[in-house]
Chain A
Amino acid sequence: MAALTCDLGGDRYVFDDLKDVLAKASSRKSGDELAEIAAETDAERIAARMALADLPLKTFLSETVVPYEDDEVTRLIIDSHDAEAFRPISHLTVGGLRDWLLSHEADSAALAAVSPGLTPEMAAAVSKLMRNQDLIAVAKKRRVVTAFRTTLGLEGRLGSRLQPNHPTDDLRGIAVSVLDGLLYGVGDAVIGINPATDNVPNAISLMKMLDDLRLHYDIPAQTCVLTHVTNTIEIMNRGAPVDLVFQSVAGSEAANNGFGVDLSVLKEAHQAGLSLKRGTVGQNVMYFETGQGSALSAEAHHGVDQQTMEARAYGVARAYDPMIVNTVVGFIGPEYLYDGKQIIRAGLEDHFCGKLLGLPMGVDVCYTNHAEADQDDMDSLMTLLTVAGCTFLIAVPGADDIMLNYQSLSFHDMLYLRGALGVKAAPEFEAWLERMDMVTPEGRIRELGLRDPRVARLVDQTRLVA
Chain B
Amino acid sequence: MARDMANDAVPPPIDLWSSMRQATSARIGLGRSGDAMPLKAVLDFQLAHAKARDAVHAPLDFDALEEQLAPYETIRVASLAPDRPTYLRRPDLGRRLDKESAAKLDAVQHGYDIVFVLSDGLSSIGVQMHAAPMIRACMERLGDLKVAPIVIARQARVALSDDVGERLGARLAVSLIGERPGLSVAESLGVYLTYEPRVGRRDSERNCISNVHGLGGLSYDLAAEKLAWLARTALKLQLTGVKLKDDVAAIAPPEIAGEIG
| A residues with CB within 8 A of B | 30, 33-34, 164-167, 170, 172-177, 179-180, 334-335, 338, 368-370, 374-375, 396-400, 402, 405-407, 410, 412, 415-416, 418-419, 444, 447, 449-451, 453, 456, 459
Contacts and interface: CB of A to CB of B under 8 A. Distances in A.
Contact of A30 (B17, B20, B89, B181): B89
Interface in B74-115: 88-92
A188 to B, nearest CB: 17
Interface string B46-60: 101100110110000
Contacts of B45: 375, 398-400
Q: What is the predominant secondary structure among interface residues of chain B facing chain A?
A: loop
Contacts of A447: 32
Given A397-B26, A407-B183, A453 B10 contact: yes
Given A173-B23, A398-B30, A402-B24, A369 B182 contact: yes
B145 interface: no
Contacts of A450: 10, 13, 16-17, 29
A405 B90 contact: no
A406 B183 CA distance: 8
Q: What 5 A-B pairs are tightest by C-beta distance, nearest first?
A: A398-B27, A405-B182, A173-B24, A415-B35, A369-B52
Contacts of A397: 26-28, 30
A370 B24 contact: no
A174 B183 CA distance: 18
Interface residues of B, number: 42
Given A172-B23, A177-B26, A398-B37, 19 more contacts: A33-B89, A34-B89, A34-B92, A173-B23, A173-B24, A173-B26, A176-B24, A179-B28, A335-B89, A335-B91, A369-B183, A397-B27, A398-B28, A405-B182, A407-B183, A419-B34, A449-B13, A456-B10, A459-B16
Contacts of A177: 24, 26, 28
A175 B24 CA distance: 10
8 contacts: A34-B92, A177-B26, A177-B28, A338-B88, A370-B88, A412-B30, A415-B36, A451-B12
Contacts of A407: 49, 183
B260 to A, nearest CB: 14
B10 A398 contact: no
Contact of B29 (A167, A175, A180): A180
A170 B91 contact: no
B210 to A, nearest CB: 11
B28 A176 contact: yes
A400 B26 contact: yes
Q: Which of A172, A174, A450 has the most chain B CB atoms inside 10 A of its CB?
A: A450
A34 B16 CA distance: 50
A166 B52 CA distance: 20
Contacts of B49: 369, 374-375, 407
Contacts of B17: 450
B27 A451 contact: no
Contacts of A30: 89
B180 interface: yes
